[in-house]
Every structure is written in C-alpha cells, then in structure tokens.
Structure 1
Amino acid sequence: MKGSWLCYMVGATFLLLGISTLTNPATAYVTSFPDEPDIDGKLITVGIAIAKYLAGLIPYPGVSALIIAIIDAWTPNPEDNYWDHIKENVAEMCGEFINDHNLKQVEVYKGDLIDLLHRYERAPIISDGTYPDKNMMANALSTSIIANRFLIEAAEMPWSMSIDFVDVSSVHILILKDAAETYSSSGEVSKWWGDLSTELHHYIKYGVMLQNVTKQWRDCQIECQFQRATQACLDFRWMGITCYDKFEIIDHVDSHSETCYQVHPDSPDQGSCASFCKNYQTHIDQSSQKWFYQNVGSVVEEMESLKVKADEMAQHVSKYYNTYTEDK
C-alpha cells in the first residue's frame, strides 16, 4: 500500500478560502543593533519589520527612517546578502520546491521599488513644481505594485513566494498608510484611507488562502508506504515464526526517510507502528505552522488590526487624496 498522508487536491483547494487562527507574535527579537532591528532576512524580514513598526514595537523615529532601512536591506550586498538569507529561509519550508523564475523576477522588480521608495522618501508633502509630492509618488508606487503583484501571488508554487509576498505587500501598506495620514487634514479624511482598506482586504484574503494551500501542499509531500508481512511467513506462524509489517515514511521536501517495523498484529490499528505516519505528520504540521506564522501569519495579523482602523476612516473620506490642495 502506498499513499500520501492526508493529501488533498491542492490545485482545487487553492481557489478556496479558509479561516486562519493565529497566535500572538513574539514581542522581542535579538538583533545586531540595540536601537533598531537588523533587517537581515533571517530573524527579521522587511515584512516583519514593517509589521512591528505599525504595532509600535520597534523604535524607528518615522517612516523615512524605516524606508531607508528597507532600501539598505534590499540593496545587494556580497558580504551579507538579504536575498541569500531569504532563499535559505524559504528552503526551510519548501526544500527545492521553489518558483525560481518568479523569485528572480521579484528580485529584479525590487530594484524598481527601491527607486520608487527613494523618490517617495525624498518627496515633499506639498510640491513647488520642481519635484513630485508624496501624493503623486504614493500613486506611482501603489500602481506599480498592483501591476506587478502577480509575481508574488504566483499560481505556480505560491508557498515559495511567501516571504516576497509579505515584503512587497507590507511596503504597499506602509506607503498607503503614510499617505493617508499625511494628507488627512483637520476635518478632512484623505481618500487614501479607502485605498488602504481595499488593499488590506486583498492581502489578508490572499494570506489566509496562502496558509491553507501551503499546509495542504506540505502534507502531500509526505509519503507513507506500508508493506504487509508476506503470506508465506504468515502461513507458518504456528511454528513460532515472527512476521513483521514495514512502514516507511518518505518526506520529499527534506529528503528524510524513516522506517518502522512491527510484529504483524491481528488488526492494523493495534500494531506498534499504527501511529507512526500520523505522529510524523503532526510534527511536520507543527514545525510548518511555526515557520508560516513567524514569516507570514504575524504580518497578516497586524494587517487585520490595521484594517479595523482603515475601515473606520474610510467611512468618512472626502473626495480628495490630497486634502490640502484638493487633488483627486
């Protein structure tokens, strides 16, 4: 008998949404710098740093300082490369099952995002006509991410794009929130709050779906093979011969294999190896859930909290994005 333990049809399920239950995130990280977290792609990714900033848990003095830290992290460094750390991080979950084409395209696209972030960080709130204001640059950055997010919301091996999804979506949310707060004046709520609410809904929905499809895919990579004791052996048990069944687990993600032998029982569920596959499955589910929450779930959880505020503000928006100049 050969089968995949708890394996479902991932392709069909990818179209369905489930409900995600997330636990509380850790509130402290050990980093290289005492005052500001080291966005290294290991302990802290760009997405995690933004989530912690939005929750008030890291001491960046403002959005500009965080943007500069993101740019520094994303800028290729041969000695301590963020991209190499991300690939190693993703491999903990996916092994070699990685959408390498999209990963390379995202790495190239983030070069464009670095340029847009530079421009947004330098842009004035009100332009004198010599340089675009933050309102214009927020629009350019948001439009660019929406047009290119098919790269991070990949149809093929989406689990391998998890951290890139979190990074880019979090940058998008950070800029929308900053623009919304920047251009909301006394008595006027910027239209950016409506955009923020819409994009939060999109990313939360995708994040929940990504969690479900990742779990189902990971389950499908575990094979449990069962080899019953031979009939020739069973026919001569009356002579005192001991016959053994064999269970073998093969995990295609980390190339792990493990074998369990049991004395052939009268009933399969009574053997010493009866829980062998189930116990391994439980172990993998727990470790996968921990990885996913640390890298994706904790960020989506912060988006859910922010959406409560965004939804409330969106009910009172004016018809202008820039309420100071009444730019639509």
Structure 2
Amino acid sequence: MRAMNDMASVPAAPGERPARIRKPDWIRVKAPVSEGYHETRRLMRDLKLNTVCEEAACPNIGECWTKRHATVMILGDVCTRACAFCNVKTGMPRSVDPLEPENVAIAAARMGLQHIVVTSVDRDDLPDGGAGQFVKVIRALRRETPDTTIEILTPDFRGKMRAAVAAICEAEPDVYNHNLETVPRLYPTIRPGARYYASLRLLEEVKAHDPRIFTKSGIMLGLGEQRLEVHQVMDDMRSADIDFITMGQYLQPTPRHAAVAEFVPPKAFAAYGAIARAKGFLQVAASPLTRSSYHAGDDFAAMRAAREAKVAAAVR
C-alpha cells in the first residue's frame, strides 16, 4: 500500500529545482482507506465543516478519522497569513458562517466525542480576530454535548490579543492551545506574520485570567533549529506556566514551502521528551508524528490526572 507524504524536498542551488528524497521509515504512514475514515469525511462534508486534518495535510488523518476523531477548523478555510510551513490557503476569507457553531456541536454529538479540538485559520480581517466565533462554538458544545471536554487551538489575535483571550477564557475551554511553532531565530522566515514573545504572552494571559485552564503549546523540529534553542523554548514555556508541550517532525507540504532541514530520529525526540518532563511540564508528547491534536483526548486525561496528583502531593 502506498505511504502518504513519502517524499520530501531538500534545499537546492539557486535556479535548480529541489531534489526529492525518500523519507525515513519512521515518518511514513499508510494512505487512509478504512470505512471509519470515509464516514468521518462524509460527516464533515454534510455539516459543511473544515478540518485542519485535511487542510494541513496531517499524516495522522487515516488513524484519527478511522477512530472518528477530527480537529475542526472554524472561520473558513482561507487564512489571512502565509506562514512558510502551513498548507492552508492564503487570501481574502469569506464571511463567517453563523451556522458553524451549531454544526460543530452536532458533529461532536454524532461522533460521540469525549474530547474535541477546535482550531481556526488566522482572521486578521475581523475586528476581534475571530474570538467571538470560538466563544460561540464553546457555548454550543456545552449545550449539545455537556460531557465533552473542549480544547481550542487559537491564532495569536495580533493586535487584539488581550480582549480576545479574555472573551474566550470566560467561555471556559478545558485546554487553551497556541503553538509557538519554532525557535525565535527562525520566525522571520518560518512564521513572519507572528512574534515569538507575543505568543508567549498570550499563554501567560490565559493563566492570568483563569489558572484552572490547561495551557498547551507545540513546536516543529527539523527546520534547522539547534538543540540548545529547543531547550530555551522549553524554559520559556515553563516561565509562562505552560502545562503541555508537543514536539513533532516538520513535513514540507509542497515544494513551495520551507524545506526540511533534517529528519529528527525517534531517539532524539525521546531525549527531548525526557528533558521536557524534567523541566516540569504536566504532559509531554514528543515523536516524529506528534501533532497538536494527535491523541489529544488521552493526553488531556493524563494531564488532568497529573495535576490532581500534584495538588494531592502538595496537600500531604
């Protein structure tokens, strides 16, 4: 059976096309063919919902959709930014769908989700950056599926961050995720529309507003970062009281995007994971195929248990 995304580009000399190389075995996955995958795909189409699983060409889509897990992407499928790593379309987005919050809740109910992850494109064109739609989605989920735990993965709400975070925290998601994506040195080329320390401040704002909300962030490896730079990002995250770190291998979606500088081996991910745990994160996910929402429900349960154990130990 053909593996998904089994080729990648490497840098080429000026004027030359990038060479295509075969990815290592640890990063190759099989193309999705299961009935569960197709059922999930039909449900998303019926409810006119977008998913980051498709738009970002996630390598885990076959596994997750077979289990009827999908990460819903609200506010359309067109982003106002053009990050060098992201496969989501860039342009002028359409108007916000007023039926989207209810449709997300209906999808969660039909799929029987115990935990749902909701993300979005960047919407710099909206006065609130799209924060209001996150609030509506959270409230719709609380009405329709009150036992489902809710994880949101938001953009940075550039220029609107404080009000946006306050509004979303008032709606009380269980987990607030915002990804740093890479080390500060690489921001000008990989994430030019964002600022590293602004993203850290966003997650600090979440904790300041409601310390009960778990915070989460992730980075991609294989973009040319150095080991000590990754360690510094971990320290910065802990200084911002971030509970959960994810680390996964960057995969180049198309030849137009940033090239893979390195395929980081599983042993290196395991070493990073051990260091992150030593630094005090409640939960750590570090492997080549780790993505923000991969196994998110199981990871949330483990993180909640870790916090409860930490509180119990402090009381004794």
What's the TM-score, normalizing by structure 1? 0.27
Structure of higher RCO (CA pairs closer than 8 Å, 6+ residues apart): 1
| Higher-strand-fraction structure | 2
Q: Which has the larger radius of gyration?
A: 1
| Higher-helix-fraction structure | 1
What's the TM-score, normalizing by structure 2? 0.28
